[in-house]
Every structure is written in C-alpha cells, then in structure tokens.
Amino acid sequence: MYIGRFAPSPTGPIHFGSLVTAVASYLDAKHHDGIWKIRMEDLDQPRFVEGSDKAIINSLHQHGFHWDDEIIYQSHRIDIYQTYLSNLNQQGSTYFCECSRKEIADSAMTGIDGMIYPGTCRNKKLDANHHALRIIAKDTFITFEDKIQGSIHQNISKDFGDFILKRSDGIYAYQLAVVIDDALQNINTIIRGADLIDSTSRQIYLQKNLSFPSMNYGHIPIATLNQKKLSKENHSTPVNDANIKNNLIACLKFLGQDYELIEKENTLTNFWTTAIQLWDISLVPKIKTIEI
Ligand code: GLU
C-alpha cells in the first residue's frame, strides 16, 4: 500500500509553492489508492509562527484535502529522536563538534549543499556541552531513481561531509527527524520540492545507519519569483482561500497536468475525483525550478 505525506513547516500561512507540493503528493498517493498523512515540522521553534499550523490545516481543509491519521507534530517527538540518536552514538557513528560557522567557512570546501565539514573535531572526543553532533560520513555512494528528476548518484563524504544531526542550540536537525518520522509513520513514497533533492542521499545514508527501509522519491520543481524560492520567510503571498478552484487549477498547470476536463467540474469533490483519476506524474516538468 502506498503511504505518502505532506510535511509543512509552520512558519507562516500556506503559499503557492507549498500548495503545489500538497497537491502533487496528494494526487500521487490517491491515484495509487494510497494513504496521505500530514506532519508538522515544527522543530525549529524560533522559526515557528504562532497559529500558522492551524492556518495551514484550515487552508488544506478548505481546498478539499482529506488526510489519514492524526496530524503529528515533531516538537512532541523529541524523546523519540533522542533514542535513535543514542543508537547512532553507541555505534560510534557520531561525534561532537565545537567549530563555529566562521571556522568552518575558513577551512571548508564547498560541496553540493553548502560547506563540506573538514572533520576537524572527529578525533577530539568532546562531550555534549552545547556542541553540535555530527554523523561520520563514510565514503559511500548513494544512488536513487527519482520518479520525476531521474537518476541521482552522490557520494556522502565527498559531496556533503560529516553532517549535523543535532545543532549546538539543542535542536534536532531536519535530516535526522525526517528520516525517523518517515520510517515510524510507515511512509514509503515521498513527493516534495526539488529544493530538497540534495538532502535525499543524506537521508538514505541515515536510513541505512538506522536500519530503516528505503523509500521512493519524486521531487517536483519549486516555484520561484525573481529566481528566489517562494517561501513563507520571504513573505510570499499566502493562497487566498476564497479562490479554491483557481488555486488548484494553477497548481495543476504548474505540474504540467491536463486540466481542461478537471476545470469543467463544478464541485470540489468531483474536481478531486477527476484530478486523481487523470494524474500523470510523467507530465511533471523534469526541472528543479519554474519561475512564476
Ligand atoms: N518541512 C519541509 C519544508 O516545509 C519539508 C520536508 C520534507 O518534505 O521532507 O520545506
């Protein structure tokens, strides 16, 4: 059984870019008679905007999405992350790091997604004391077949280096939490924005280290405005809940779908039934960004 999900960060109301991700992940799951779950990724409490989780949920509801199970919040799952992190510590796969951003910037090479940490603290045997915790990136090749973007082949140590699992401010890193939650929620297919495609091989690496099953991935193009990703942080216009049908049609167009028949439906229920039937992931543009 297909089990998919949508995992917004509650840092503001839903904008066009996140609505597109919700639509794509929902249609792909439902087209395969699957389950679709919602998870609130609210670990980064300083970025959390009070009430935006409710606003996102309300907006999804207004747009006619039906999710399965209760919505889970990452901020309620700290003990779970710590348990898995302790397993990694016991395996000797991690170490504490005291380097500042500046020290890293001065000595590191740039990789696929930011700096490649040069391993300065690997053998220092530091204790927890406000230090970040990193996983040792072994010389491992990860290959996966993305349902949209095609084949991806990366080397964990050469392309990313030892990456952070827990930040020095005590916040569990996205890469760790997402892998644990996807596994414990029995997710098997992840459809999300292409801005996360370079996180995927690190997530697969963590899955292997934690003996979790692997997933299927599809990364849809992200919407950009003046070359910048639409995000809640750059105050992209929130979607207008009064224009439900227009919003959804705009998402289908963005995703390259044949929307003429769907557009003719006059109830939201029929709209979704037809959109689910006609969903064709092979029509989604195989590019990382689309300027809107
Ligand atoms: N919470 C992430 C975001 O809103 C998405 C994470 C994921 O889908 O893996 O960008």
- pLDDT tens figures, 167-226: 999 999 999 999 999 999 999 999 999 999 999 999 999 999 999 999 999 999 999 988
Residue 196's nearest CA partner among 14, 25, 74, 15 is 25
CATH of the domain at 222: 3.40.50.620
Report yes or no on 121 lying in a domain: no
Report yes or no on 251 lying in a domain: yes
- Total domains in the chain come to 1
Predicted structure pTM score = 0.96
Please report, in range form, the residues annotated as the binding site for ATP.
232
- CB of 199 sitting under 6 A from ligand 1: no
Residue nearest to atom 7 of ligand 1 (CA): 7
Mean pLDDT value of segment 14-42: 97
Report yes or no on 119 lying in a domain: no
- CB of 8 sitting under 6 A from ligand 1: yes
Report yes or no on 167 lying in a domain: no
Report yes or no on 184 lying in a domain: no
Q: How many C-beta neighbours within 10 Å does residue 96 have? A: 19
Tokens 């606003």, residue located: 55
pLDDT band at 108 (very low <50, low <70, confident <90, very high): confident
Question: Which stretches does DSSP call E strand in 47-178?
Answer: 72-73, 94-97, 109-111, 114-116, 132-135, 141-146, 150-155, 164-166
Report yes or no on 70 lying in a domain: yes
Q: How far is ligand 1, taken at its centre, from the CA of residue 7, in Å?
A: 5
Please report, in range form, the residues annotated as the binding site for L-glutamate.
5-9, 41, 174, 192
Range of the domain at 26: 3-75+215-291
Report yes or no on 49 lying in a domain: yes
Q: What is the reported pLDDT for 240?
A: 87
Please report, in range form, the residues annotated as the binding site.
5-9, 41, 97, 99, 117, 121, 174, 192, 232
pLDDT band at 232 (very low <50, low <70, confident <90, very high): low
272: enclosing H helix or E strand: helix 268-278
Report yes or no on 10 lying in a domain: yes
